[in-house]
Amino acid sequence: MKKRLVISAAVLTATAAGFAGYVSGAVGVNSKALRDAVTVAGMRSHQAALQAVADANNGTRASGTPGFDASLAYVKSTLEAAGYTATVQPFQFPYFEEVTPAQFSQTAPTPTVYQTGTHFEIMEYSGSGDVTASLQNVDLVLPPGAAASTSNSGCEAADFAGFVAGKIALLQRGTCTFLEKAANAQAAGASAVIIFNEGQPGRTEVLNGTLGEPTVGIPVIGTSFELGNELAQTSGAVVHIVTNTTSEMRNTANLIAETSGGRSDRVVAVGAHLDSVPGGAGIEDNGSGSSAILEIALQMKALGINPRNKVRFMWFGAEEAGLLGSEYYVSQLSKRQKQDIMANLNFDMIASPNFVRFVYDGDGSDTPDAGPNGSSVIEDVFAKYFNNKGLAFEATAFDGRSDYGPFIAAGIPAGGLFTGAEELKTAEQAAIYGGTAGVQLDPCYHDTCDTYVNNNEQVFGEMGDAAADAVLQFAMTTSAVKGTSKANDAAVKSVDGELLAYRGSHLQR
């Protein structure tokens, strides 16, 4: 039985202003039978199976590992037993794993040990190495100019004129990708690379970045503006960097199953990523979304639902490596096939223990970023559902950190649900949703503790119901979703142009 959150009149009054910004969707199919069939117990049974897979495969279900292959096999066999034809779409992708934790310290003139997360992060796809060397600044923009200027440090080979081979290149974020900076440094003979944040408001924290591909063989780490600026102005600075990584090309796949009925020129693309990070089982991220759409697919078949519009269920690989599965899927579509997708519904992390109910902001009315034309219709469907159920919810931005990214980049209307990752719950959110202020919405995000117990069954049931409702609304609607005939439109609007700076959870520039 699905659990429900009963919101008091006081809380509803407090959140009324938030509800006022949403309008009701035009569609109105009764989804009760499907929602009743999609139970918490059913979704949790799939999570239990994924946990068993992880337990048998070194605690991980990451793409490129046997744990992912077994996860895909479970979903595929479950779908086929229900009567679906499940298609495997193989592709290659760059695999990255940090074998042992990175180390970073200053050995001179002031010996200092720096801590991962607090002072630095290893760049995804960093090479391996154990390096002690002096620093060399490369075309930096430091105070007082940093607050007003944009750095292009390391973006051109000419920036490394006079660089002394064997030194560690100290670079600054800005203009080009981290890969371009690191590749130029490696070509100039750098033994390692440190990239620090740029310094303007919003660009000061420790960089959690990605190189995007395994082509740089030397250590690459990211730091905050504060630490980078300090090192840049420390005369005679010598640092020690140790990285031990696996960075290589591997094979993985997407899994696709669709309803036999429904118009093939009006496809509802329902997606979730199946992979975990290498360092965990990923039962909430994203065993929750994967299990929810699997149960929706099974119950639609069990109920004999014959949709007007074809529903295509997709489990993506290599999302944690930078949305690579969904990117590959979209890249293989013809222009006509893109136009045939009326909506992309994305479900990534929908059972966070310290949750907030988030709906992607399709029209950009509450966040800086909007989806392609038609995304507002998807937002409205979720808003109508939650309003009718008296459940509080908030807008969340299309920030490029989940598998909707390649769809909106192709101009396909998108939307979905999310219950939170590493963000800290605010006091206001705790008053509305319960839980603990000042704690991550998912305290086990990308950690070894993201196991079967890392799951809030209350919100899982609520989000599973909302997902089932939306899938059925779009499966049965005869209304048009504006924008679906414009698959080559610009993806989104963005206040600062940074929307697609993310590849999954990592910055790429």
Quick check: 295 and 46 in contact, CB under 8 A?
A: yes
What average pLDDT is seen over the chain?
90
> Which has the closest alpha carbon to 476: 302, 307, 312, 330?
307
Neighbouring residues of 334: CB distance < 8 A, sequence distance ≥ 6: none
In the block, residue with structure tokens 């690379």? 193
Structure confidence at residue 507 (pLDDT): 79
Structure confidence at residue 419 (pLDDT): 98
Quick check: 192 and 241 in contact, CB under 8 A?
A: yes
Does the structure show a pLDDT above 70 at 12? Answer: no
What pTM value is reported for the model?
0.84
Structure confidence at residue 19 (pLDDT): 32
Question: 23: pLDDT confidence band, cut at 50, 70 and 90?
Answer: very low
377-435 pLDDT tens trace: 999 999 999 999 999 999 999 988 899 999 999 999 999 999 999 999 999 999 999 99
d(CA 214, CA 501): 18
Structure confidence at residue 482 (pLDDT): 66
Structure confidence at residue 322 (pLDDT): 86
H/E stretch holding 358 = strand 358-360
Q: What is the 3-state secondary structure (H, E, C) of 44-71?
A: HHHHHHHHHHHHCCCCCCECCCHHHHHH
Question: 143: pLDDT confidence band, cut at 50, 70 and 90?
Answer: confident
Neighbouring C-beta atoms of residue 239, cutoff 10 Å: 23
The full set of domains in the chain, from first to last, is: 9-94+249-507 (3.40.630.10), 110-236 (3.50.30.30)
116-142 pLDDT tens trace: 999 999 999 999 999 999 999 999 998
If you average pLDDT over residues 290-306, what whole number do you get? 98
Does the structure show a pLDDT above 50 at 254? Answer: yes
53-89 pLDDT tens trace: 999 999 999 999 999 999 999 999 999 999 999 999 9
If you average pLDDT over residues 360-385, what whole number do you get? 94
Annotate 143-157 with b (16+ C-beta within 10 A) or e (fewer): eeebeeeebebbbee
Structure confidence at residue 24 (pLDDT): 36
199-243 pLDDT tens trace: 888 889 999 999 989 999 999 999 999 999 999 999 999 999 999
Structure confidence at residue 88 (pLDDT): 98
% of the chain with per-residue pLDDT over 90 = 83
Structure confidence at residue 481 (pLDDT): 83
Cα angle 449, 464, 369 (rounded to 5 degrees) comes to: 85
Quick check: 47 and 452 in contact, CB under 8 A?
A: yes
427-476 pLDDT tens trace: 999 999 999 999 999 999 999 999 999 999 999 999 999 999 999 999 99
Which range (21-25, 39-43, 247-251, 478-482) has the least confidence?
21-25
Structure confidence at residue 506 (pLDDT): 74
Strand stretches in 30-163, DSSP E:
86-108, 112-114, 120-122, 129-137
* Catalytic annotation, residues: 319
